[in-house]
Structure 1
Amino acid sequence: MAPQVHSNGSIELDHEEEALARLHLDDAHTELRANSSGKGGYRYESPEEVKAMKAQRAAVWQWLKGIGVHMLKDGLSLTNISMPVTLFEPRSWLERMCDNWSYLQLLELAADAKDPVDRLKLVVAFAISGLRQQISFGKPFNPILGETFQGAYPNGTQVYIEQIAHHPPISSWQVYDHDARYHFFGNGTWAASARGNSVKGQQTGANTVRFSHDDAEVSWEMPYLTIRGVLFGERYLKYGGSMRFQDAAHGLTCDVDIDTEGPGFFRSFFRRKKAHAQDAVHGVLRGKDGEELDVLTGSWLSHLEWEKGVCNGKLHTVWDAVKTPVDRAIAEREALPSDCRFRNDLVQLKTGTLDAAQRAKVELEQVQRADRRLRSEGLKRASA
């Protein structure tokens, strides 16, 4: 569809052209690509981060004295143990989840794409680009059962999230496009454990986008992340593993590998292989007969590129960490009483009253444990 030229000389673009104009990324900035060297990962090395890290490590060591440092040897689950409030940022995980979806313009462009292959390419870019938004220094608060978050992105897209289970912790979300072109929904179970000087975590569960144009759905799962240097040494965050994207209605799949290590040490010693590319993203998009349709390259830290491009080759670099506009969800002023922003521990932490925040956090955890016991006893009586 060609742009419509009005009598006053202004040009009206269709949805696809307008979105492409917003991205303007094929002159992609390359400054951040240099980060994919050495050990790789996002490094917490700014003066502000170093200062905060010293204070955080002091709090961690103090906390470990209370629970026993030896517990780290066998691994320690971070989703079912109480941690000091000084380690947290003043947000619940429900609110922080929205950071994953900061490049909604890629979903908008996907919704307007006329080719299912182009659409899948843009969904893949949307999902992987959001990984870089989860590098916040502090730990978010574990949501309380029944806790909610309600917000909207600058373009009017609505987001609703609820904590629907306690053990294991499961969050459910609904994101509604402002023009009803797509519906993004899913359930995520978060697990994280600490062992020695590192933390490893992953959100499992399907992420699904349903497009109103043809009711087709694209689904995927998230990779795992590792934070090293928790107690001492250089601290950095890395993603790794595989992601599979599927569009069953059109027989399309895309398998993406992130920071894969390649062969083992002895095999690599005797058989020379290409050096492992830190933080690299490599994906292959295939059709229903398994034929290769396109290849994705780049880094979750900096950029993503499709060899054949999208929208008839108009765009090859579909995401660039410097140039792509970031959209943040803004909490609704009038929200449910269960909204995470009304938690007393969060309110106290935002005001800087740490002792009051710690007391409030402990009280909420005690109430949740008591409620869990009551539900368990009720189930036992009902089944007796």
Structure 2
Amino acid sequence: MEGIVKGERHPLAHEKGGFRLQDPDNLIPEASKEMMKKIGGKLLKLKVFDLMKISAPAKIAAPITYLECFLNDYTYFPRYMAEVVKVQDPIERIKYVTTSILAGLHVGACVLQAMSPLNPVLGETCQRYAPDGTKYFAEQITHHPPVSAGVMEGPEGKWRFEVIQEFKANLNGHNSVKAHKEGAIVITLFDGTQYIVEEGWIQIDGIVYGEMVINVCDKITVQDLTNNIEAEVVFDPDNKEGAMSKLGSKLKFWGSKKTKRPADHFDIIISEDGGDKKSKVCTGKGSYLEHVEFEGEKYWEIGDEWGEWIKPDEKHLLKSDSSLRADLNFIKEKDYENAQKAKEDSENSQRADKDLRDQGRKT
């Protein structure tokens, strides 16, 4: 992206934290208001609503699916997993695994900006590979709820990434959305070492009015199940003080008050589980819009090259690949009228298929 200077804060970073989502045509506020009307009707009827069940217009969708969004989120995996398999020290390994997650947190926002991915289609697939030989396969295994399954495998089978996740999104007030991917990531190395990654949630503010900003919230944990080591990444740590700590801060002399870091910053603690208690062995910090460091050494910084994912040629590409969707290709051409029609045709087809499955279960 133009304007990024290696080692500096991302040019679209908000001063208070998070990534400024760009909507140059100002499409999102009006579309959000229309969606609010749909949601409002469900609320009045006391129906439980989920934003994933609300059909968004094609004009606010990016030409990308949820399966491809997985690739954005984990685009640095090939680079850092290559480092993981080179070393034997479990502490150094978990640093690289953690970095592979944190380094990619801004990529999805850079690609999508204020737009949304296309609604998933049951049975669609995605195949991609990286120049180093890493392979990625994914499939949309359910539509409602939207659950995606993916596998990524490194060169010579030295590491393997597996995930089954449901994407959930709900209103957080009238101008904000909270979303998260429910389901752990499992990473297995060639020597049997296994990691479990639990991700946090995101919050998007300004969906109806004001500036649209996305923040990663809560925490991410990376557990090395083989060596009983855990990396805990806490976002916006300066907002997570205890009550007594906050009181103490207020009583301090004003001139010595610590400056609060932007909300996209995080603190990392790597600890070993000794059975009775955990012992801290390493710390780190950074921001997913700046850098990741452990004990003062930088492992990643903004401006480092993203991974490259390549689509197989037509001969080896499944006909179900999401890149072949009609609505996606109309959106690429900015033909939103036909994109909307193709989108509705797909949704109607899925409803008809579901009805047939339901009838089949009853017989």
Q: 1:230 to 1:172 in 2, by over 3 A?
A: same
Letter in 2 for 1:282: D
Instruction: Say whether the 8 Å CA contact 2:27–2:60 is kept in structure 1.
Output: no
Aligned-partner SS, 1:127: helix
Work out whether residues 35 and 54 of structure 2, in 8 Å CA contact, stay in contact via their aligned partners in 1: no
The answer for unaligned runs of 5 or more in structure 1 is: 1-27, 310-315
1: CA distance, partners of 2:161 / 2:286: 25
Q: Give distance in 2, aligned partners of 1:341 and 1:33.
A: 29
The 2-side partners of 1:327 and 1:241 are apart by 26
Q: Displacement of 1:276 after TM fit?
A: 4.4
For the residues of structure 2 that align with 1:61 and 1:142, how far apart are their CA atoms? 19
Residue 339 (structure 2) pairs with residue 365 (structure 1): no
Output aligned runs, 1:113-128, within 5 Å: 113-128=87-102
Alignment map for 1:80-229 (pairs within 5 Å): 80-103=53-76, 104-135=78-109, 136-137=112-113, 138-194=115-171, 195-212=173-190, 214-229=191-206
Shift of 1:57: 2.3
Partner Cα distance (1:165, 1:150) in 2: 18
Q: Partner letter of residue 155 of structure 1?
A: D
Normalising by structure 2, we get a TM-score of 0.85
Partner amino acid, structure 2, of 1:300: Y
Structure 1 residues 248 and 374: CA distance shift in structure 2, 3 A: same
2:271 counterpart of 1:294 = no
The answer to whether the 8 Å contact 2:67/2:139 transfers is yes
- Compared CA separation, residues 92 and 177, structure 1 to 2 (3 A): same
Q: How far 1:43 sits from its partner (Å)?
A: 1.6
Structure 2 unaligned regions, length at least 5 = 251-257
**Mean Cα deviation higher: 70-79 or 113-122:** 70-79
Aligned length: 338
Correspondence 1:260-271 to 2 at 5 A:
260=237, 261-263=239-241, 270-271=247-248
Paired with 2:223 and 2:35, the residues of 1 have a C-alpha distance of 43
Percent identity over paired residues: 28
Note the 1:227-376 alignment, pairs <5 A. Answer: 227-260=204-237, 261-263=239-241, 270-272=247-249, 276-277=260-261, 278-289=263-274, 290-307=278-295, 316-322=297-303, 324-334=304-314, 335-376=317-358
2-side partners of 1:293 and 1:271: how far apart?
A: 28
- Which letter maps to 1:32? R
Q: What residue identity is the alignment partner of 1:95?
A: E
After superposition, the Cα gap between the structure-2 partners of 1:326 and 1:377, relative to the gap in structure 1 and judged at 3 Å, is: same
- The one-letter code matched in structure 1 to 2:267 is H
CA contact (8 A) 1:210 1:218 kept: yes
1:71 and 1:251 map into 2 onto residues whose CA distance is: 46
Measured after TM superposition, the shift of residue 55 of structure 1 is 2.8
- What is the TM-score with the length of structure 1 in the denominator? 0.81
Establish whether residue 78 from structure 1 lines up as the match of residue 28 from structure 2.
no
CA RMSD of aligned residues (A): 2.5
The answer to whether the Cα contact below 8 Å between 2:14 and 2:20 also exists between their aligned partners in 1 is: no
Asked if structure 2 preserves the Cα contact closer than 8 Å seen for 1:228 and 1:234, the reply is yes
Instruction: Give the distance between the partners of 2:120 and 2:264, measured in 1 at CA.
Output: 30
